[in-house]
Structure 1
Amino acid sequence: MTRPSGNVRLKAARVAAGFNSQQDLADALSDHAKRMGIRGLSIGARQVRRWESDNPPWPQPDCQRVLVQLLGQSLEALGFTPPWGTDGPSSRPGLRPPVRGVATALGLPGVSGRSTAAAHPASVATDFHAVTRSHRRLYWSVAPAGLHPAVEAHATLGCVLLREAAEPARNVIAEALAETYLLAGRIEFFDLREPDLAHETFLLALQAAGEADAPLLGSAVIAHMAFIPGWVGDRDAARERMTAARTYARRTHASAEFLAWLDAVEAECGTRCGDTRTALHLIGHAEDVLKDGNAHASPEWMDWFSPARLAAFKGNTQLLAGHLPQARTTLLEALQAMMPGEEKQRTVVYGDLAAVEAAFGNPREACAYAGQALDQLALTWYATGMDRVREVRRALTPHQHERCVRDLDDRLYDWSTTVSVLSR
């Protein structure tokens, strides 16, 4: 006799509740979410199918609430395993260790319950953090598809160590684990174009930041989460997440650079939602914050922002607002101010400069900048940079019979670039 496969606990609970199909449960969960006052939550049969698979993903916070309320059982009793593991064989379904900080605020499962601390030397936390730091640096030069599996494996190790460690090593591991998950989420969102996967990873980063009681790191995670709705035009969701990010930043000593970055993130979300006026105001405020400065240093892990990158944000917003002469000037200044190690952002600036020239009706200059972007992408792949080049090519459609545009097509659709684009 063959044993049933998949998450049989959830399937049994679904059938017992009168939902004969996965679509029936999906519809019931979406309707129940509305009655609970949860806005914008839509669950499909595909999601239920993933939950009933052999390795069901840990549901997102809102989904957790709806599942538990509708089916009347805890998540563990429904066949889900917390990403941080359990207390071991003695754990009982429905009992969850207490949580604190960020995890409590967002309804995430806690990691406070853990097995007895293993006899690890004190250097384990330092060594784990050292690898985290190395991955952070490798991100700017190593192909993201190659780095991502290593970062994920490192996070898996961190979860094991976190369950076994005692203070003060445990706090060091938790913060390094939060940074590791944040890096994995950044790769998934910016490089691999997997926003749904990135959202789940950012939630894990947020929980680890809560375990470390690191509000600034939590703020950084939530601000990254704002990009996800912001890039698809969901202004309300992006704004709500930015409000949360700013709230966490106020709970600690945030540097001027960090506060300016929050303005820049909200500005980019606003730009993608069509509100370039507010975005330019936010960027102006960020520039003033950087000029004023303060006594607080930026955290070591914040290596994705600088005045040059703020200028790049500004140039893109000016471009989309139709302020073409200003955009050209700003982007050229940003390009000149960039330091070694900012090659990924450089491809974005080249793409935006190409877009400016295309809008001015200068196809030759546009193709030249697009070619420079492709030169850099051949060395350091960045999906966001390639997106900019492809947008420029669409803008050059009226000039597609010109030699410079055909030459660009030859480069844009060579073997390696085509495979890289289509594989993503």
Structure 2
Amino acid sequence: MPGNFLLQQAMDELGFTQEGLAEAVNAALKEGGQRDSVGERTVRTWLTGKTRWPQRAKRDALQAVFGRSTEQLGFTPPSAPDVPEDDVHRRRFCTAAGGTAVGITSPFLAARPAVGTTDVLRARKGLDALTALDQTRGGHAALERSALAGAQETLELQKRAATQRIRQRLFTVAADYIAAAAWSCVDAHQLGRAQEHLSEALRLAGMAQDTTAQMRVWNSTALLATQRHRYGEAVAAAQAAQATSITRRDPKFGSLAHARTAVAHAKSGDRQAALRSLGYAEDALAKATQQPRPGWVGFYGPAELQALAAIVHDQIGAPAEAEAASFRALAALPEQYRRNRAMATAYLALAQLHQGEVDQGCATTAAAFDLMAGTPLPGRLRVVLGDFHRALLTLAPTATAAREWEDRYRSEWSTA
């Protein structure tokens, strides 16, 4: 007996298991005022072809679930017409289902199709575009707005999710969109809005039961706390990122969490803890293998770890090591990571300045401005350049290079 391959294909497109389809059909039957129900055994008879033409109520429910006619789902009507049914009963089913019958057409044919795997993949594509924009320009208001719009559209989709698994996947996508908006605010140094977005992203990640999304939120929370000079909170958030199960399953995520912890420890003045966490990050990254991962974590690898190591070393009073780490980061960072390269360049200039190399440090910052030419400087980069300016005035307030730097860059840095 041939199987019903069209039904199986439709199930695969929407991510249905046999149990999941039975649940969705039962929900449609209940919505239509029917007392009948189906189980996995019934679904198997549909898939094997044993049942070639389900009863009318079940056909209507299948059409409601898939948004396709019964024939498009691979079912074949018998040569004899259906036995007439009670018209009153038929109208009651149609009305209860929320549709208005036109002729003999089922109201379910006009129902909006359930949302499935294809829709999830389509919703996720927008995240890749936002990630690419962040890599080149950095955080800004338009990126934040686009991310929030993507989240709203995704949350509307989840209302029509075909299964609970699809709904959870859509919550993950929505959490990632909100996290992207939060990250844009962190990078733009819009700290209040960043916190609001992170709280919402963490809520959605919890509803999705997605530890990767949760880890992303805690990673950004640690960076946000560092920007706010709340270093104890930064350590706690970074350790929360470490505690997510994805860090145990994938060493790359574990490495990122340890690196973020190292920066938080360094900012809080705990030298030994910072170096220890940095060592853990290096060991974990050495164990990471190539495998599919969300696009947002694509920035992290040996180059970014070196960039974070530069921050740690400079913060704990080892500027020579920080300079070396910055050079290694810049040698490995891809060209398209324009904002990251500008950040690494600014930290390189700081490390040089902290070694007394005033002229070299001032010259290095020129490359940071050049890298972001044509777009406003992200707020986070302006903060680092502000740190450079203050250190410059402290170490060499009368130096010619310091005066020239201020004359050349202060307006661009402070108003960009």
Short-chain TM bin: 0.5 to 0.7
Matched, 1:280 2:275: yes
Cross-structure match for 2:176: 179
Matched, 1:119 2:113: yes
TM-score normalised to the size of structure 2? 0.66
Cross-structure match for 1:378: 373
Matched, 1:244 2:240: yes
The separation in 2 between residues aligned to 1:142 and 1:349, in whole angstroms, is 15
Cross-structure match for 1:196: 192
- Answer whether contact 1:311 1:333 (CA < 8 A) is retained: yes
Per-residue deviation, 1:159: 2.2
Matched, 1:345 2:321: no
SS in 1 for 2:335: coil
Output aligned runs, 1:8-19, within 5 Å.
none
Closer, same or farther: CA 253–274 of 1 in aligned 2, 3 Å: closer
SS in 2 for 1:165: coil
The separation in 1 between residues aligned to 2:234 and 2:410, in whole angstroms, is 35
The separation in 2 between residues aligned to 1:196 and 1:402, in whole angstroms, is 38
Aligned equivalent of 1:147, options 140, 143, 165:
143
- For the pair shown, the structure with the greater C-alpha radius of gyration is 2
Aligned equivalent of 1:289, options 275, 284, 287:
284
Aligned equivalent of 2:304, options 309, 316, 329:
309
Cross-structure match for 1:260: 255
Closer, same or farther: CA 320–156 of 1 in aligned 2, 3 Å: same
Closer, same or farther: CA 331–121 of 1 in aligned 2, 3 Å: closer
Closer, same or farther: CA 348–300 of 1 in aligned 2, 3 Å: closer
Per-residue deviation, 1:280: 1.6
Per-residue deviation, 1:180: 0.5
Cross-structure match for 2:130: 135
The separation in 2 between residues aligned to 1:395 and 1:379, in whole angstroms, is 27
Cross-structure match for 1:320: 315
Per-residue deviation, 1:213: 2.1
- Answer whether contact 1:255 1:298 (CA < 8 A) is retained: no
Per-residue deviation, 1:163: 2.5
The separation in 2 between residues aligned to 1:394 and 1:295, in whole angstroms, is 42
- Answer whether contact 1:242 1:266 (CA < 8 A) is retained: yes
Cross-structure match for 1:226: 222
The separation in 1 between residues aligned to 2:157 and 2:305, in whole angstroms, is 37
Give the share of equivalent positions with the same residue, in percent: 21
- Answer whether contact 2:345 2:368 (CA < 8 A) is retained: yes
- Answer whether contact 1:351 1:369 (CA < 8 A) is retained: yes
Per-residue deviation, 1:186: 0.5
- Answer whether contact 1:312 1:331 (CA < 8 A) is retained: yes
Cross-structure match for 2:402: 405
Residue 219 of structure 2 aligns with an amino acid whose one-letter code is A
Per-residue deviation, 1:366: 0.9
Per-residue deviation, 1:265: 0.8
Gaps spanning 5+ residues in structure 1: where? 1-115
The separation in 2 between residues aligned to 1:257 and 1:350, in whole angstroms, is 24
Cross-structure match for 1:92: none
Closer, same or farther: CA 295–200 of 1 in aligned 2, 3 Å: same
Greater fraction helix: 2
Per-residue deviation, 1:406: 2.7
Per-residue deviation, 1:270: 1.3
The separation in 1 between residues aligned to 2:366 and 2:355, in whole angstroms, is 18
Per-residue deviation, 1:417: 4.2
